[in-house]
Amino acid sequence: SALFNFQSLLTITLLLICTCAYIRSLTPSLLDRNKTGFLGLFWKSARIGERKSQYIAAACVLMAVNILFWS
């Protein structure tokens, strides 16, 4: 049902990026061995989270404020 609601889709995407970046910071070999295929999505999400961390953090804060006060 998150696919039909833009706010839910955005929340799921941000959580995926943050979770993958956190997992890669703890155990890099877990995500680095799967760079292609379906599991490559998690590696790519981790790379986005690492390289765009300021923008991802700002988006997470804005989403949290939006969910807490306007939903």
Walking along the chain (71 residues) 10 residues at a time, the average pLDDT comes out as 76 91 92 88 92 89 88 66
pLDDT at res. 1:
56
Beta-carbon contacts of residue 36 (< 8 Å; ≥ 6 apart): none
pLDDT at res. 2:
59
pLDDT at res. 7:
83
pLDDT at res. 53:
85
Sequence spans of domains, the chain: 39-70
Verdict on whether the full-model pTM lies above 0.85:
no
Longest dimension (CA), the chain: 41
pLDDT at res. 70:
84
